Amino acid sequence: MEGFDPDAVLSKLTTAEKIDLLSGIDFWHTKSIPRLGVPSIRFSDGPNGVRGTRFFNGSPAACFPCGTALGATWNRDLLEQAGMLMGHEAIAKGAHVLLGPTVNMQRGPLGGRAFESFSEDPVLAGSCAAAVIRGIQDTHVVATIKHFVANDQEHERMAVNSLVTQRALREIYLLPFQIAVRDSKPGAFMTSYNKVNGTHVSEDPKFLKDILRGEWGWKGLIMSDWYGTYSTADAVNAGMDLEMPGPSRWRGQLITHSLMSKKISPHTLDLRVHEILNLVNRVSKTGILENAPEGSRDIPETAELLRSISGESIVLLKNDNKVLPFNKTKTVAIIGPNAKMAAYCGGGSASLLPYYAITPFDGISAKTESIKYSVGCYSHQLLPLLGPKLRTSDGRVGVTFKAFTEPATVTERVPVDTVHLVDTNMYLVDYYHPKLTDDLYWAEVEGFYTPDEDGDYEFGLTVFGTGKLYLDDEMLIDNETVQRSGGSFFNVGTVEETGIKNLKAGIAYKIKVQFASGVTSKLTDADGVVSFGGGGIRIGGTRVIDPDEEIKKAVQLAKDVDQVVLCVGLNQDWEQEGHDRPNMDLPGRTDDLISAVAEANPNTVVVLQSGTPVSMPWINKISGLVQAWYGGNETGNAIADVLFGDVNPSAKLPLSFPVHVEDNPTFLNYRSERGRVLYGEDIYIGYRFYEASRRATLFPFGYGLSYTTFKLSQLAISYSGKILNVKLQVENSGEVDGSEVIQVYVKQRAPSVKRPVKELKAFRKIPVAAGNSTTVDIPIEGRYATSFWDEGRDMWITEKDTYDVLVGNSSSHTPLIASFEIDETVWWSGL
């Protein structure tokens, strides 16, 4: 793909060609203009890996740890490496533009998509985003920072009006985007679905023209979120360049009509087209051909970096009596519903098909042979996917998918397509076959299930469309006659309908699903959803267990071993795009299991996988706690590395963990109420709220333990008027090499408005060998360290006052304090 002169091309385009460039041609591609040498370019999700062009039967990819895990590393250099790997993955997938990173704020603990984001703090979030973007764009792939702005919940996300003060917008919600623009210059922005203060962001010139392109001086392309365009002239005039996906709903002939009626001027049309041409020309440097084939980079170097990132993201939250690291020569019980399940990513557009996924059981088993296992309890929301446990008629792992142009009632119908699949979560949004020319089509999915033991087995069928599941040709589940909305498939699918059958071990039972595409869906009550079309089929199943008996088995197992690891948490069924969590609780009988096992063995360590905080009523009963997030392909290996001390944990929490959901600052203002949500906590998000209200947290922002100890001393600061320089000594006073995160907070002593107790302004991760010490210098731009947003002047203000610098290793532990003076009040704007 060759570059071109955007100005020259623009001068030669016809009006019709210009209009064609303003929207995608399909889910992932822009319009080409062959006569002028303008190729089509490809976009791809997402924030934690590069899926490619297909949800359905996609190419395997490298799955990175989720956003909160990346934030927990507090390591810009490592995140830059991660971004570079994402860029190389994009090139392998033939994608010129990557739709990430996500830099929205962690307002509260219940956001369905919050696991994609980095932090509750704008400085940490913006710094992480900038590092990832620099890495991506070093490969010439363009990064798309999203979702601009205040897209912090899933409930009625396309309709909700986020009511936010100007000060909170600037200090909390816009600031991470501002930092990313300052430090990395992302090539593209994606607008959010929601309104802010009455206007959808995709058609609000205040955000797109005045702030982003005007005040910040940013240059690049602005695209909509998928189906996040709601107008023609308003969006074009506001500065939204590209409507995605295609075919267009709001442009095309509507642009022609707007030009004719002078609602859009030719000059404005040219501005929008020019940004698209600039982007297409820019990504020509990737060398990716138009409509390139999708490949992979499943190489040892990829696995090594993913394992390093995942290991450095794991936070050690509790380690009483030095229960960790485990001894490899002692016996270990692995207990819990997440032990043999690789919870490698959250759900929605962040999900992808991984090259592989290491479970905690596999990772731990590779470290020691003295292993015993019990599931303990179930914690799934949807039954575990059946695909890996099924076999096709010719013995391959998985199922056979057949597509038809006629329903099952037509005898002797012939499939137009036959596909072998391992994954039985089939989102058909991008399924295509040339003989399927209508939105209405039918499918059949077939596989054989052989139980390991006698007993009752439960099967589940979830659809976007209609379907029935048959066991040996006997209908077991009817998800067609009556349907119930369940939030699946981006909130347009059904609940999981289930059926139970007693099966015998060793017998192969035929599982068959008869399905009709999405247009046959009978659901009418899904609120604020994005229907991406096509359809969806999800087939799950597992043996029915007696919860009380399973917990008893786990307790007995725990009594018989030296060390216990409890693998628990959430997965992409609980944390996913489309809906928020209703509470912070762990699912099912998880809390009962943890309490019972902890009482049976004092050397019990909980490995918790979730993208956001959960309740922990058992916290005082366990000896060890490890927060492992969703760790990507190398999830299980990274967990085992930390448990056995091959990796010394160095991660810190990028968000506060409240004791109860009621304690969090958004509790009374989290969800859409008649189409609006009040950001009532204002600037007091996360630790800012807990400190101002003196409300205890379960674990504070910035907190994390190590297998060694660190001492911070000799704080010295200097302020030149432009740069605040922070200098201190960091000593590793323990016996293990490790890394410490130095966190620098600033407090204004006598502000003219209420300000947080202190605010994070800089950080640095420093490796220090055991017994050694090092000097750390952390320069901070003075105005970013001291300013708040003056709503009276609509500018940043640094007031004449005394400022304290507080340095430590968490928001709750800042023992080093020094101060400096500012002699004159000044206002400023821009970057």
**Packing angle, helices 253-260 and 266-282, rounded to 10:** 140
* Greatest distance between any 2 Cα atoms in the chain: 87
Query: What rounded mean pLDDT belongs to the chain?
Result: 96
Beta pairing class for 738-748 and 801-808: antiparallel
Average pLDDT over residues 602-628: 98
At 35, phi and psi to the nearest 5? Answer: -65, -20
Average pLDDT over residues 635-650: 98
pLDDT at residue 532, rounded to an integer: 62
Residue 388, token pair as written in the block: 């890996």
**Can you point out the beta strands (E) in 310-413?**
315-319, 332-335, 371-374, 390-391, 399-404
8 Å CB contact between 618 and 594: yes
How far apart are the C-alpha atoms of 575 and 67, rounded to whole Å?
Answer: 13
How far apart are the C-alpha atoms of 308 and 790, rounded to whole Å?
Answer: 43
Average pLDDT over residues 188-209: 98
The angle at the Cα of 84, spanning 81 to 85, to the nearest 5 degrees, equals: 90
Please say if the pLDDT value at position 578 is more than 60: yes
Lowest mean pLDDT of 259-268, 520-529, 629-638, name the range.
520-529
Residue 454, token pair as written in the block: 């006698």
Q: Which residue shows structure tokens 């943890």?
A: 594
List the one residue out of 403, 441, 396 whose CA is nearest residue 419: 403
8 Å CB contact between 273 and 22: yes
Predicted TM-score (pTM) of the model is: 0.96
Q: Is 171 helix (H, G, I), strand (E, B) or coil?
A: helix
Going along the chain from its start, the domains and CATH numbers come out as 6-286 (3.20.20.300), 332-374+553-699 (3.40.50.1700), 381-543 (2.60.120.260), 710-828 (2.60.40.10)
pLDDT digits (tens, 9 = 90+) for 405-431: 999 999 899 999 999 999 999 999 888
Please say if the pLDDT value at position 282 is more than 80: yes
pLDDT at residue 430, rounded to an integer: 85
Residue 349 pLDDT grade (very low, low, confident, very high; cuts 50, 70, 90): confident
Rounded to the nearest angstrom, the gap between the alpha carbon of residue 783 and the centroid of all alpha carbons in its chain is 31
pLDDT digits (tens, 9 = 90+) for 224-254: 999 999 999 999 999 999 999 999 999 999 9
How far apart are the C-alpha atoms of 323 and 344, rounded to whole Å?
Answer: 26
Lowest mean pLDDT of 45-49, 498-502, 777-781, name the range.
45-49
Helices (H) then strands (E): counts for the chain: 19, 38
At 249, phi and psi to the nearest 5? Answer: -100, -25
Residue 356 pLDDT grade (very low, low, confident, very high; cuts 50, 70, 90): very high
Average pLDDT over residues 469-488: 94
Half-sphere exposure of 516 (CA within 13 A, CB side): 14
Q: Which residue shows structure tokens 């590209």?
A: 242
Beta pairing class for 399-404 and 417-421: antiparallel
Lowest mean pLDDT of 52-66, 262-276, 638-652, 669-683, name the range.
52-66
Give, for 598, the enclosing helix (H) or strand (E): helix 590-600
Average pLDDT over residues 677-682: 98
Please say if the pLDDT value at position 364 is more than 70: yes
DSSP H helices, 383-537, are: 488-491
Residue 355, token pair as written in the block: 């090259």
pLDDT at residue 528, rounded to an integer: 44
For residue 59, give the amino acid letter: S
Average pLDDT over residues 628-638: 97
**Can you point out the beta strands (E) in 149-203?**
161-163, 188-191, 195-196, 199-200
At 632, phi and psi to the nearest 5? Answer: 80, -165
Collect all residues with Cβ–Cβ distance below 8 Å to 788 and sequence separation of at least 6. 167, 171, 748, 751, 753, 755, 796, 797
pLDDT at residue 525, rounded to an integer: 59
8 Å CB contact between 404 and 413: yes
pLDDT digits (tens, 9 = 90+) for 429-445: 888 899 999 999 999 99
Distance in angstroms between the alpha carbons of the first and the last residue of the chain: 34
Catalytic residue among 204, 225, 241, 591: 225
Q: Is 485 helix (H, G, I), strand (E, B) or coil?
A: strand
How far apart are the C-alpha atoms of 458 and 232, rounded to whole Å?
Answer: 49
pLDDT at residue 326, rounded to an integer: 97
pLDDT digits (tens, 9 = 90+) for 504-543: 999 999 999 999 999 999 987 554 445 566 899 999 999 9
Dihedral-angle region of residue 714 (phi above 0 means left; psi in -120 to 50 means alpha; beta otherwise) = left
For residue 343, give the amino acid letter: A
Residue 165, token pair as written in the block: 């003060």
- How many residues are given for the chain? 831
Residue 699, token pair as written in the block: 């674990």
Residue 214, token pair as written in the block: 């005007």
pLDDT at residue 402, rounded to an integer: 97
How far apart are the C-alpha atoms of 201 and 493, rounded to whole Å?
Answer: 27
Residue 790, token pair as written in the block: 């003056």
Q: Is 463 helix (H, G, I), strand (E, B) or coil?
A: strand
List the one residue out of 285, 147, 132 whose CA is nearest residue 228: 147
502 class by beta-carbon count within 10 Å (0-12 exposed, 13-18 middle, 19+ buried): exposed
List the one residue out of 810, 706, 715 whose CA is nearest residue 763: 810
430 included as an active-site residue: no
Beta pairing class for 390-391 and 399-404: unpaired
How far apart are the C-alpha atoms of 465 and 475, rounded to whole Å?
Answer: 18
User: Exposure pattern of 69-90 as b/e (b: 16+ CB <10 Å)?
Assistant: bbbbbbbbebbbbbbbbbbbbb
Output the CA torsion 461→462→463→464 (10° steps): 180
pLDDT digits (tens, 9 = 90+) for 108-145: 999 999 999 999 999 999 999 999 999 999 999 999 99
Question: Residue 661 has what DSSP assignment?
Answer: G
Q: Is 67 helix (H, G, I), strand (E, B) or coil?
A: helix
Residue 289 neighbours by CB distance under 10 Å? 10
Residue 588 pLDDT grade (very low, low, confident, very high; cuts 50, 70, 90): very high
8 Å CB contact between 708 and 734: yes
Measured CA distances, 367 to 311, 333, 559, 639 (Å): 15, 13, 21, 11
pLDDT digits (tens, 9 = 90+) for 30-48: 999 999 999 999 999 988 9
Residue 53, token pair as written in the block: 């062009």
How far apart are the C-alpha atoms of 737 and 86, rounded to whole Å?
Answer: 29
How far apart are the C-alpha atoms of 422 and 396, rounded to whole Å?
Answer: 9
